[in-house]
Amino acid sequence: MVQTLLLKNADMLVTMDGTRREIPGGGLYAEDGVIKRVGLSGELPETADNVIDARGQIVLPGFVNTHHHLNQTLTRNLPAAQNNNLFAWLQAHYRIWARTNPEASRASTLIGLAELALSGCTTVFDHTYLFQSGNKVDYQIEAAKELGVRFHASRGSMSLGVSKGGLPPDECVEDEEEILKDSIRVIDRYHDASFAAMTRIVVAPCSPFSVSENLLRESARLARDKGVMLHTHLCETYDEERYTLEHFGKRPVEWMEGLEWTGPDVWFAHAVHVDDDEIKLFARTGCGAAHCPCSNMRLASGIAPVKKYMAAGVKVGLGVDGSASNDSSNMLLEVRQAMLLARLQLGLLPPEGPRRHALLPPSHPLRAGEWMTAREALELATIGGASVLGRDDIGSLETGKCADFFTLDLNTVQFAGALHDPVAAVVFCAPQKVETTVVGGRVVVDGGEIVTMDMAPVVEAHNRLSLALTSEI
């Protein structure tokens, strides 16, 4: 029996379709989780099995998170890692993360996904790469199904311990043959390449300083043989760049290109420290980038050249990154920070021409397209993220796409005085909790609360497990 859903009377419905329609008084009608009609509410069917009256609300396509480490919700705000850059931060965490057991993995996944859903996120890619203490990616996949969020799971990996020149402790890495064997198992069991898939698998070795060249090559070959995507961290910090120069005599992008790690099936997390030629390479080969503004600020990693990527035609999406390098799983916050950080970066550009004063340079002349606009930031979080993950069935609200969307109440303290442009208000004003989140036509958040499961016992278990996990430091 066909299940129908009708959303109507939205103050504004943002489609992110090809013409970027924004429809006052808009709505949509869906059958079995797929949108059949989008337009003015008066032009849609009058009844459905589930009717959402979005009067006083703005509706947007569900956000797509292109990089996260959900198990890191267990180590948020860790005192030993509050004031470190990446390498020292990782070394403070590796052994703790390696103790993540199945119960902790499930709880942390549910907490992270719930927080994301409460900020409008409907599709999540997670990059987990430690599988000691009985942990498996299976527990995360099962948790995502339970909560009801669209999930791209990674069978990540680390194989290069400190004794072989890597950064992780030896007890935190795995045998490469076992990594590849388990990757095949996970893909064969869970990967769904079909339209509207709720679960997909990504092959994701961790980073240039934690895996071998052999594992990178074999992972790329495996992924292409199985028809799944490839992901890793790249160009996140200068420390990483020094590592590849010292060990391989190449900058990170050139090194990865030689290992068959470029193409439309590849995207990199962070991609902060790149030059113009490397940006052109990404554009030419179809590589994507996951921009993680809050994490990059927290770890003092730098500012990714997002506007340059966009101008060159590089696929760019947003990523929350690890909850321990962000301390939040809030996509609305990430959208706002992406816009603000791009503007800060613009202000840091050296002025053209000679200085008119020994101390004060002239204002930098802005040209069309240099600003990161609120709507561009929203594009990164929606259609941009969908493109990075290789999906054409999500990211916008239009006929034939998945009914993935969220709503925000416009009649709040946070939006008061900002309704001259409600779409931009979503980005410029303080992020707030969503009213409704729908994934594939299924309501996951209603009235600002998760409704697919009782989160109270999950929070209790998560806090207990988090404290136990870190008590052995």
Is the pLDDT at 472 greater than 80? The verdict is: no
Is the pLDDT at 360 greater than 80? The verdict is: no
Read off the pLDDT band of 323 (50, 70, 90).
confident
Is the pLDDT at 345 greater than 70? The verdict is: yes
Task: Determine whether domain 4-61+394-450 maps to CATH 3.20.20.10.
Answer: no
Task: Determine whether domain 63-347 maps to CATH 3.40.50.10880.
Answer: no
Is the pLDDT at 83 greater than 50? The verdict is: yes
Q: Above pLDDT 90, what percent of the chain?
A: 93
- What mean pLDDT do residues 122-137 have? 97
364 vs 347: CA distance, rounded Å: 7
Is the pLDDT at 330 greater than 60? The verdict is: yes
Instruction: Please list the residue range(s) of the chain that carry CATH number 3.20.20.140.
Output: 63-347
- What mean pLDDT do residues 372-401 have? 98
Q: 3-class secondary structure for 329-385?
A: CCHHHHHHHHHHHHHHHHHCCCCCCCCCCCCCCCCCCCCCCCCCCHHHHHHHHHHHH
Helix, strand, coil abundance in the chain, percent, nearest 5: 40, 20, 40
Which stretch of DSSP H or E encloses residue 321? Answer: strand 321-322
Is the pLDDT at 64 greater than 80? The verdict is: yes
Token pair belonging to 62: 């569900």
pLDDT (0 to 100) of residue 364: 55
Mean pLDDT of the chain: 95
pLDDT (0 to 100) of residue 370: 81
Q: Bridge-partner residues for 442, per DSSP?
A: 439
pLDDT, tens digit, 9 for 90 and up, residues 396-427:
999 999 999 999 999 999 999 999 999 999 99
Token pair belonging to 437: 């989140």
β-strands 34-40, 26-31 pairing: antiparallel
- What mean pLDDT do residues 146-170 have? 97
**Residue 124: what are its φ and ψ, rounded to 5°?**
-130, 130
pLDDT, tens digit, 9 for 90 and up, residues 423-454:
999 999 999 999 999 999 999 999 999 999 99
Reported pTM = 0.96
pLDDT (0 to 100) of residue 362: 55
Read off the pLDDT band of 326 (50, 70, 90).
very high
Is the pLDDT at 388 greater than 50? The verdict is: yes
Across 93-102, 148-157, 366-375, 379-388, least confident range? 366-375
Instruction: Please list the residue range(s) of the chain that carry CATH number 2.30.40.10.
Output: 4-61+394-450
pLDDT (0 to 100) of residue 357: 47
C-alpha to C-alpha distances, 382 to 26, 58, 285, 438, nearest whole angstrom? 19, 15, 22, 14
Is the pLDDT at 87 greater than 60? The verdict is: yes
372 vs 24: CA distance, rounded Å: 24
